[in-house]
Amino acid sequence: MDLTTIVLILDSSVRLATPLLLACLAGLYSERSGIFDIGLEGKMLAGAFFAAAAAYWTGSAWLGLLAAIAASIVLALVHGFASITQRGNQIVSGVAINFLAAGMTALLGQAWFSQGGRTPQLGGDARFGAITLPGAEALRDVPVVGEIYYELISGHNLIVYVAFLMVPLTWWVLFRTRFGLRLRAVGQNPAAVDTAGVSVPFLRYRAVIICGVLTGVAGAYLAIAQSAGFIVNMSAGKGYIALAALIFAKWRPWPAMGACFLFGFLDAVSIRLQGANVPVIGEVPVQFMQALPYILTVILLAGFIGRAVPPKAGGIPYVKER
């Protein structure tokens, strides 16, 4: 395997890891505040649909992005209302949101566009195009460095860069700000935060809204950056993979990036390895590669490669004065 092949695989790993990373960081905020969220998939799907629909009507990718974020926040608030205000079961609420998004996007897609749930193809300003970083063209012919800079680092769309910049930002917010400290505390011991005079519901609502914003961006990436329109069930389990990555990263931002990149890489390799013979092992079934993130997560959850301990108050509704 030569350098070009490796660079191309890594390049597509970056593209495939981007929506996972955004959804994974979204889950990170929510779950660190003690609200489990298996509804990442649904929020991402809703974001993708409304991004495509709004971008089609307005012709602007930016308005598409805004619509995606708005739709995703609405679902996040439903989850917040059920799990914070109504003290409902967070898992059940997450499942409901996934179905609501799957049903609504297909239903509205059919009602509005009559193309079997798809949105019309988008082009031009309705999509986020590739950005060429300064000097990429000039460096293109320099061996190794030029190739890596031109192919791998430059030439992605805006959301890819935003996603990777979100990693240090999330780290800073969580571990260097007062809000982050309180957010982490409310996921470990909400009673202590309450005693300190900080509102547990308000903190959790803010975390859930941040989660909505990020899943909305992830959805917009799927529909108007990576592809040129919405197709039914386009998130295709990515929300669950992001959840797996979150567990794999043990609810920490930098490892989250590593896990998402790993899962993106596995995806890229499995597309490339279709039917190819790998030395020593022989032909690896594509299905095995596709299942690998889930298998790895189960093994991790079983505690065979380090332990993944979720935030202590996760999944438990907080009741003041009991």
Contact map string, positions 180 to 219, toward another protein, x by CB under 8 A: ----------------------------------------
Task: Single out the residue of 144, 281, 282, 287 in contact with another protein (rule: CB under 8 A).
Answer: 287
Binding residue count for another protein, defined by CB under 8 A: 51
123 lines the binding site for another protein (CB under 8 A): no
**Interface mask (CB under 8 A) for another protein, residues 25-54, using x and -?**
-------------x----------------
Residue 27 CB, nearest distance to another protein (Å)? 12
Degrees (nearest 5) of the Cα angle 54, 220, 58?
A: 20
- Exactly one of 129, 288, 305, 312 binds another protein (CB under 8 A); that residue is 288
**Residue 194 and residue 188: Cα distance in Å, rounded?**
12
* DSSP output for 160-224: HHHHHHHHHHHHHHHHHSHHHHHHHHHHH-HHHHHHTT--HHHHHHHHHHHHHHHHHHHHHIIII
x/- letters, 103..122, toward another protein (CB under 8 A): xx-xxx-xx--x--x-----
Least distance (Å) between residue 309 CB and another protein: 9
Binding another protein (rule: CB under 8 A), the pick from 5, 99, 137, 276 is 99
Query: Which span (150-158, 164-172, 258-266, 283-291) binds another protein, by CB under 8 A?
Result: 283-291
Minimum CB distance to another protein, residue 174 (Å): 22
CA 184 to chain centre: 20
Which one, of 25, 314, 76, lies nearest residue 190 by Cα? Answer: 314
Choices 22-30, 154-162, 178-186, 314-322 (CB under 8 A): range interacting with another protein:
314-322
CA distances (Å), origin 27, targets 22, 48, 252: 9, 17, 11
Output 12 or 110, the one with its CB closest to another protein: 110
Question: Quick one: residue 34, left, alpha or beta (phi over 0 = left, psi -120 to 50 = alpha)?
Answer: left
* DSSP 8-state secondary structure symbol assigned to residue 60: -
Cβ neighbors of 115 (< 8 A, separation 6 or more) are: 109
Query: Does 82 engage in binding with another protein (CB under 8 A)?
Result: yes
Q: Are the C-beta atoms of 246 and 31 separated by less than 8 Å?
A: yes
In the complex, the smallest distance separating the C-beta of residue 251 from another protein, rounded to whole angstroms, is: 13
Q: Does 301 contact another protein by CB under 8 A?
A: yes
What is the per-residue binding string for another protein in 221-240, x denoting contact by CB under 8 A? Answer: ----------------x--x
Binding flag, residue 319, another protein (CB under 8 A) = yes
When the beta carbons of 219 and 314 are compared against another protein, the nearer one is 314
* H/E run at residue 176: helix 158-176
The total of other beta-carbon atoms located within 10 Å of residue 308's CB is 16
Q: Which residue, among 200, 248, 235, 237, has the nearest Cα to 33 in the 3D structure?
A: 200
Exposure class string for 275-295: b at 16+ Cβ within 10 A, else e: eeeeeeeeebeeeebeebbee
User: Of how many residues is the chain composed?
Assistant: 322
Footprint of another protein (CB under 8 A):
38, 78, 81-83, 86-93, 95-100, 102-104, 106-108, 110-111, 114, 117, 237, 240, 243-244, 247, 285, 287-288, 290-291, 294-295, 297-298, 301-303, 308, 310, 317, 319, 322
